[in-house]
Structures are given as C-alpha cells and as structure tokens.
Structure 1
Amino acid sequence: MGNGVLCGLLAGALWGMVFIVPEILAAFSPLEMALGRYAAYGAIALGLMAPRLSSLLQRLERSDYAALVRHALAGNLVYYMLLALGVKLAGVAPTSLIVGLLPVVVTLMGHKDHGAVPLRDLAMPLLVVAAGIACINVDVFMHAHAAGASLWRTLAGLVCASGALLCWSWYSLDNARYLKRNPHFSSAEWSALYGLSSGAIALAIALAVLPFFHADVTGAAGAASGRDWTLFWIANTLLALGASVIGNHLWNIASRRVAVTLSGQLILFETLFALLYGFIYKQQLPRPLEIAAIVLLVAGVAWSVRVHAMDERPAPP
C-alpha cells in the first residue's frame, strides 16, 4: 500500500500544474486549452506506443474501446471544459467549493467496493478533510467577495462545476474498478491507450469546430495580444507530458494498489500541490486560513492512510 500512496502523491504533484497553465494562457478559451492539451497528450502517447502499437491494438476488446472512450470524455475533455466554464461563469470560489468535494464524493461512492474500509472508521478523517476544504473555500469567498456576478450566471457556473465534480468522481471510480477487473494491460499500457483515445477525440472535435474559430494573429502580434501560439504549444506539451502521461501512469499504479476509499483521499494531494504552486507563482505566503486548510488536509489524508493500514493487518491467530 505504501507504494500506492507514494504514486498517488507524485501524481498529485504533477496534476497540480493544471491550475497554473490557465493563468499563463489566459488569452485562450477553455476549449482551446483542452483541445491543445489532449492533442499533445495523444501525440506523445502515439510516439511512446509506436513500436508496439499493432500488438496493443490487437489485444483490445470491445469493452476496452468503450472504457477508453468514456474515460477520455469523462476524465479529460468534458471534465476540463466544465471546470473551466464553471470558473468563467461563477468564479473560482464557488467552483472550487464544489469541485473540492471530490475526495468526499469518491469515498462515499466507492464505500461498497471490495476492500473498502467501513465508512464508520473513516468518519473522523473525512470530517478533518471536510474542515480543510471548508477553510480553503471560506478564504476564497472572503477575498472574492468584492467581485459581483449575476444570479443566473452564477447558477449556470455552479451547474457546470457540479457536472465536473460528477464527471471526475465517476471516472475515478470506473477507472479503478476497470483496472482491477482487467489486468491484461499494464498501468503504462493503459495510460498510453488512454492518452491515444483522448488525443483522437480531441483531434476530431478540433476538426469539427475549426471552421468556427475566428482568424487569429501570429508571430509578434500574437505575442503582444497574449495569444502566443508558441507559448500555447510549449505549455500544453509540458502539461500533457507531466500531468497526463506521467501523472496518469502513476495514478493507475495507485488505483491498483490501494482501496477505492483511500484513492479518493489521495486526490487531495492535487489540491495541496496546486496551492503550493499558486503561492510560488504569485510570490506570496499563504494566509492563515490557507495554512489551516493545508494542515487539516495533510492530517486527514495521513489519518485515512493509517486507518487503511490498520485494516490491512492480519487478524491475530
């Protein structure tokens, strides 16, 4: 289990980069960023798979194709676009409040899976985690209060954020369950196939919507307007390699080695590293409520790991 927790931590460290790239590419739309990221992910996956692509495709069954398509949509493209749209319509605070419930929702949805720890044993760690999430969002609300928004726009954003929460919660559980039921692909192979399917779908969507994109500026004029396509592809390629290729591979390893109820808690590492990267990017120290949130989240995850470790100990003879 220890290796699974470590892989989950490293995956969270890589996934935390996702929250910085939109700041860097603020001049681009959420759709453009999603398609760029996953097109780059697919291209990298194709390069990694090229020597054994034929043999891997021959091993794919109809159920594998269906799983790859639904995971690429729910866990990547649809989730990312709903999240970005929620932030645009409702703001960071309400969206983070909803999406921040991911660990709790995943744990609750997976509590009946084989090997899951009873919810009564996780009640206190979950309360600590919930307190940490509350601290993060209270702090965000306090500092975003000055920005006003219409009621209907905010409600539409909350619906999008709720959709993102459901998408990733469902993907996380379905992916973990599918990997445990189907060991005929290694974690690296499944991650590469997942990337290839995400890239293929992103490319298909890009070709479908390309005629509707407005003419764009390039070169020095593009850089001056903020729509610097060189920066766009560099940032998305690095994000695809780190967060998607390596991060997803590490998460697949973690999904196979820990119970679903614990994997839900490990998602919190993404939140912690996103906070850390944000502090570094903005060159500011965390506020008191942010410090409290970090302490509570770390304590909650550590407590949850301890509960799972105790549950795995063999009974005395």
Structure 2
Amino acid sequence: MTIMENNKRVDTAHTIPLGVLYGAGAGALWGLVFLAPELARPFTPLQVAVGRYLAYGVLSALMIAPRWKSLMHSLRKKDWEALFWLSLCGNVFYYVMLSMAVQKGGIALASLVVGFLPITVTIIGSRDKGAVSFGALLPSLLFCAAGALCVAWQALAAPAAGGHAVSGFFCAVVALVLWTAYAVGNSRCLVRLHVLSVHDWNLLIGIVTGAQALLLSPVAILSSPYTYSTGQLGRFAAVSCAVAVIASIFGNALWNRMSRLVPLTMTGQMILFETFFALIYGFLWEHRWPRLLEGVAFVCITLSVLTCVSVHQKHAARRRGAISGLMENGV
C-alpha cells in the first residue's frame, strides 16, 4: 500500500465524530419504529411491516424516478443481487423473524439474543485488514453485553406471549444472523460503490423492499381474521407512511452516511443508539421514569459507545504517527 493510500485511510479517522452523529441520528429515527405497533395495535406485526415497506417502496420509486435511467447505467448484476439480499435480510425477513421471536419466546428472550447484534458485527469487523484489534474492543463489547443483559433481565418481569421458548430462541438467533449480515454487507457495499450516493442506494433498497413487501401482502392480509373500520385503516396508512418517511427514508440515509465514515468495527456499536432511543420513547409513551436496571443499561450503552470511539481515535492517531514517520524517512 502506498503512502497516498495510507493517508487516504487515515484521513477517514477525522470523520469519526461526524459518523457518530449520523449514527445517533439514525438511532433516534429508528427508535420510533417501536411505537408503530402501539399506534396500529389492531394490526398484526406482519401487516405493520408490509404496510411500512410498501410505503417505503412507493416513496422511493417516486423520489428516484427522475434519475432512474442514469442510475441503471451505474448498476451491475452483482449490485442488484446485493440489493435483493440486503432488502430481504435487513428489512422484510428480519422483522418477521423478530416478531415471531417475541410472540413465541417473549420480549426478554428476543431482546437478550438480538441485543448481542453490536458484538457480532464488531467481531466480524475486527478481522478486516488494518482494523482495531478484538482485544482493544473488548471493554466496549463487555459494556454492550452488560446493557443487553440488563434490558433482558428487566423484561423478565413481563409475561411471555407464548411458551414455545425453543422455537422463539431459534427465531431470535435467525433475526440476529440476518441483521448482522445486513449491517456487514451494506457497509461493504457502500465502501465499494463510489458511483452511487448513499441517498440513491437507500432508495434502491426501498424499491426492492417494496417489491418484496408486495409479494407478502396476500399473506399479511390473511394473517388476521379481523375486519377493520375505515378509521382504523386510515390510521394504519398514516402510521405506515410516517414510519416509511422517518425511519426508512431519513433514518436509513443517515445510517448509510455513517457507514461510509466509520470502520465496520464501529458500525456495530452505532446500532446501540437505536436501543437507547427506543427505551427513551418507551418511557415517554408509558409516562414513567427508567427502573434501576434500565438506568444501568443506559449507562452501559453510553460507556460502550464512548469507549469504542476512544479506541478508534487512539488507533487512528497511532496510524497517523506511523505514516508521518515513513514520510519523514522518505519511505
């Protein structure tokens, strides 16, 4: 690798604070998604997911239409394959499996398993060339695990929706694998595809996700035997469009910008912002203060992100020093 290439990689270290802000913004918008089932309570989780992603697809198609022909020349078959799998793993299939995990095993089991998502992404990212070592990231990962355990332990007070713990655990593990694959795959696609903006990539994912949701719509309609009033359907449409705009359009756009600014070992930690804000919105919705374990979870999540940022800043400083030494020696 040349000195110029090294300099390019090190320069990205200066964007870490901005990347963290984008990650926090994405988490703040994504956290609102957890209110959608409450706002559209008569409808099943599958119907809520299909409604959200149909709206996401329609809005994406309208927004990208003026640039559609020019974008088609920039995309290859490999890119369309990536869009298909990212949409399926990170949106449709993930949400369905997570909903099944909650229904079968309860909130505690699902939150405990999926709560380890930042750890799985960070471990994979630590294997990349030039990445921060796993040992240096261990304190951050331990704080993350402690926060997830606190949330899950607190959730044990809530009754499980079903007693099928084994099948619920399996669904939660599948959901964890799916979103890990999405986070890693999406980050690497954004690094590779310089010809596309993060906004256009998000809209393309929206179009593909909308097509997948359209195929699932008959199943969603038949998933509930209830008939809904005009008022309920209007509320459902409003919630679906709001979530599509706030979380899928703007939230995903911020996440994609973050993915181009920080290394993969930090991407996993940024997912903690979604948990952080989801808890805040939940407390506001329930009109209460955090309980003891929930407060501890807040502290653990904050420490996890702070230690992760600190490690990456120190790693970047060491790389800058090493490169400066090479340049002074004329290497």
Asked if these proteins are the same fold (TM beyond 0.5), I'd say yes
Larger CA deviation: 23-32 vs 96-105: 23-32
Residue pair 2:146, 2:297 contacting (<8 A) in 1 also: yes
**Superposed counterparts of 1:168-247, under 5 Å:** 168-207=179-218, 214=225, 216-219=227-230, 223=231, 228-247=232-251
Question: Per-residue deviation at 1:131?
Answer: 1.4
Q: Which residue of 2 aligns with 1:20?
A: 35
Larger CA deviation: 177-186 vs 4-13: 177-186
Residues 218, 107 of structure 1: CA spacing in aligned structure 2 closer, same or farther, 3 A cutoff? Answer: same
Distance 1:72 1:124 in 2: 32
Q: Which residue of 1 aligns with 2:265?
A: 261
Q: Which residue of 2 aligns with 1:62?
A: 77
Moved over 6 A (4+): none
Q: Which residue of 2 aligns with 1:307?
A: 311
Residues 210, 137 of structure 1: CA spacing in aligned structure 2 closer, same or farther, 3 A cutoff? Answer: closer
Identity of aligned residues (%): 39
Q: Give yes or no for the alignment of 1:166 onto 2:158.
A: no
Residue pair 1:106, 1:169 contacting (<8 A) in 2 also: yes
Can you list the C-alpha shifts for 1:89-126, whole angstroms capped at 9, x where unaligned? 11111100011111111111221123421011111121
**Superposed counterparts of 1:1-317, under 5 Å:** 1-141=16-156, 143-144=157-158, 149-150=162-163, 153-207=164-218, 214=225, 216-219=227-230, 223=231, 228-313=232-317, 314-315=320-321, 317=325
Distance 2:20 2:161 in 1: 41
Distance 1:138 1:76 in 2: 27
Residue ranges of structure 1 left out of the alignment (5+ in a row): none
Distance 1:49 1:218 in 2: 34
Residue pair 2:106, 2:161 contacting (<8 A) in 1 also: no
Larger CA deviation: 173-182 vs 206-215: 206-215
Matching residue's letter, 1:98: V
Q: Which residue of 1 aligns with 2:7?
A: none
Q: Give the number of equivalent residue pairs.
A: 306
SS in 1 for 2:108: helix
Distance 1:108 1:259 in 2: 12
Residue pair 1:41, 1:241 contacting (<8 A) in 2 also: yes
Can you list the C-alpha shifts for 1:55-100, whole angstroms capped at 9, x where unaligned? 2123221011101100010000000011111111111111000111
Q: Aligned-pair RMSD on alpha carbons?
A: 1.7
Residues 212, 156 of structure 1: CA spacing in aligned structure 2 closer, same or farther, 3 A cutoff? Answer: closer
Residue ranges of structure 2 left out of the alignment (5+ in a row): 1-15, 326-331
Can you list the C-alpha shifts for 1:153-206, whole angstroms capped at 9, x where unaligned? 121111111111110001100111111122111101101111111111111222
Question: Per-residue deviation at 1:217?
Answer: 3.4
SS in 2 for 1:284: coil
Residues 301, 56 of structure 1: CA spacing in aligned structure 2 closer, same or farther, 3 A cutoff? Answer: same
Residues 21, 213 of structure 1: CA spacing in aligned structure 2 closer, same or farther, 3 A cutoff? Answer: closer
SS in 1 for 2:73: helix
SS in 1 for 2:227: coil
Matching residue's letter, 1:185: L
Distance 2:91 2:162 in 1: 28
Question: Per-residue deviation at 1:209?
Answer: 6.3
Residue pair 2:103, 2:162 contacting (<8 A) in 1 also: no
Matching residue's letter, 1:242: I
SS in 2 for 1:204: helix
Residue pair 1:115, 1:259 contacting (<8 A) in 2 also: no
Distance 2:153 2:173 in 1: 18
Distance 1:267 1:64 in 2: 24
TM-score, with normalisation over the residues of structure 1?
A: 0.92
TM-score, with normalisation over the residues of structure 2?
A: 0.88
Question: Per-residue deviation at 1:215?
Answer: 7.1
